[in-house]
Structure formats: structure tokens, C-alpha cells
Amino acid sequence: MTNTPIVLLGRAGTTFTYRAYSRIAPLFGAPALNGRIIEATENPDILEALRHNPDAFGLIAVETQAKGRIVDSLEAFDSLGTRYSGDHPIRIIGGAKMPLWFALMTNGIRFDEIEGVVAHEQALEACKELIKRYDWKKEKSTSNGQAAADVKSVPRLAKFAALGPIEAAHHFKLTVVDEHFQSGVTTFFLLTSGTTPVRTGPYNRALVTFGTRGGAGALHDATEPFKRYDVNMIYLHSVHRGNGKYGFVTEVECTSEQLEQTKLGLEALREITEDCAIFGPFAVTNL
């Protein structure tokens, strides 16, 4: 498995997904990091790369402690579900909640010289109170690794700091002015386009995408099986699919004792909705 493609966000070794993958992969039977890394620019690109690379693995961030669900990740699953209803090429084989620490890094300037911060929007949200305290400007980036690269090379960002993993500072030879600027917890889902089995555990989640069949009460009717089978829905997000049509992304949770009834509820949902794609149930662990 040493040549297995692995899809991760950002430049190699400069984003939290690299650190998270190293810790999460062994828990669910995925290969270690190797030389066949496919770099994704944004979260939806991770699913696209997996779709075009059979027998690959990847990791995607889906939730942060500061901002909740990461919308572009979930909407990427909806897009995938509409194309591969029921029989999709990508599976979620496990998940983990992982504590992370944002380092604050500059291109040689001191802390008291910082005028602004550049980072992925999730990092900016996680650190918003501290950023507000120092009255810094904010600039969004596609990833924290890209933010570090821009602080290093873009002249107009000479007075900006980047937020991200300390590995990014090492990679771009930036000065770390605060190694533990802000802490938080991010939930990652481990993905595969191969045959590695999905693992379940004491606590499990499933991600589901579907479209309703329209008419008054369509969403209420679609989620009725959850009540019938006592399935706990913990999140619901609507996605505009164009031409006035909407899809939905939902997550449910269950213990190991509730697995079978949860599966029955999900299959019942599939029967009364359009283009329903079910990812899971899969184990989610705390690191």
C-alpha cells in the first residue's frame, strides 16, 4: 500500500490535514503518508480527486469547534450524491475529533509589528476574539498553508501574520511569534475510493444527502423514518441545486447498540427520497 494515492488539502506538510491524517489513518486501516500525495486546493477538490483515483484515501475537515459544520465540505458530498445516488465511489470509513493549536507566524516581523492576519476562514473564525483584541485586519486564504506561503512571498502582506500549523512555519522558514495562539477541536472524516471496510465503534455517525419529492410537507415526510426508528438527527443543511430545487445534507448519530435500527431508518429514508446517498454509519473517536 506504499504507493496508494492520498488526497490532502494544501501544500505538502503545511496544513492540519497532514498532521491529522498521520494520527487518524492507523485507527481505520488506511496507509501511512507516502510519496504519492495529491494536493487539493479546497475541500471539494478532495472528493473530486478521490472520484478520479480508484483505491485512494483522503481526509476532509467537516466541523470546527468555533464555527460548526464546514459548509463547502458538506455541499461537496451533496454534489457527489446527486451523481452517484446509492452506489457512489467514495466512502467515509471513520472519523475523529482532534485538538489543534494555531501558531502565529510572520516573515521576520515582531508580534507588536503585526497589522493583519491571513488564514483559511475557519482559522479566522476560531481566532476571531484574539484578532479583534489586537485590532488586526483579516484576509481569507484557500488554506492555512497557502496563507503561510503568501506571508512569505507577497509584498503587500509584509506586515501580516499567518495562522496555521507550526509545520507551515518550518516549511516556509517563517518566524513563530506565538506557538499556541489559539486552540480548538476539528472533526475530520477519513475517506476512501477503495475497498477498505467501514469501521464502527461505541459512538457512530452517518452523513446522508438527499432530495425531496416536492410538495407541502416534503421534508417532514422525508425525515419521518427517523422518528419511526428512533434515529437521532444532529444536523440538517439545505443546498440550492438550481432551478428552484433543493437538496439536504444531514448527519445522524448512534451508539453501537443502535446501529441496526439506525441502518433501517436510513434505508427507509432512501425509499422515500430522491438521489439519496448514505455514508456510514462509521465510528467517530476522540483523539
Q: Say if CB 68 and CB 136 are below 8 A apart.
A: no
Cα-only R_g, the chain: 20
d(CA 72, CA 68): 12
Q: Given pLDDT bands bounded at 50, 70 and 90, which one contains residue 159?
A: very high
Beta strands in 85-213 (DSSP E): 91-106, 116-120, 137-141, 160-164, 175-192, 203-211
Crossing angle between the packed helical segments 43-51 and 71-83, to the nearest 10 degrees? 30
DSSP states along 54-77: TT-EEEEEEEETTTEE-HHHHHHH
Q: Which three cell numbers stand for residue 26?
A: 492507523
pLDDT digits (tens, 9 = 90+) for 228-282: 999 999 999 998 887 767 889 999 999 999 999 999 999 999 998 888 999 999 9
**How far, in whole angstroms, is CA 231 from its chain's centroid?**
23
Give Cβ neighbours of residue 187 (< 8 Å, ≥ 6 apart): 61, 62, 63, 64, 95, 96, 97, 98, 284
Distance separating alpha carbons of residues 61 and 210, to the nearest angstrom: 21
Domains of the chain: 6-99+186-192 (3.40.190.10), 100-184 (3.40.190.10), 203-286 (3.30.70.260)
183: its cell numbers: 486552540
Averaged pLDDT for residues 139-158: 94
Instruction: Please name the amino acid found at residue 11.
Output: R
Could you tell me the pLDDT band of residue 34, with boundaries at 50, 70 and 90?
Answer: confident
Which is it for strands 245-255 and 160-164: parallel, antiparallel or unpaired?
Answer: unpaired
φ/ψ of 224, rounded to 5, equals -55, -40
What single-letter DSSP state applies at residue 1? -
CA distances to 49, 116, 121, 203, 237 from 143, in Å: 17, 16, 8, 30, 23
Helix (H, G, I), strand (E, B), or coil: what is residue 287? coil
Q: Which residues of 204-226 are buried (b: 16+ CB within 10 A; e: fewer)?
A: bbbbbbbbbeeeeeeeeebbebb
pLDDT tens string 56-81: 999 999 998 767 888 889 989 988 87
Q: What is the pLDDT of residue 27?
A: 96
Q: What is the 3-state secondary structure (H, E, C) of 243-272?
A: CCEEEEEEEEEEEHHHHHHHHHHHHHHHHH
pTM of the model: 0.88
- Per-residue model confidence (pLDDT) at position 150: 96
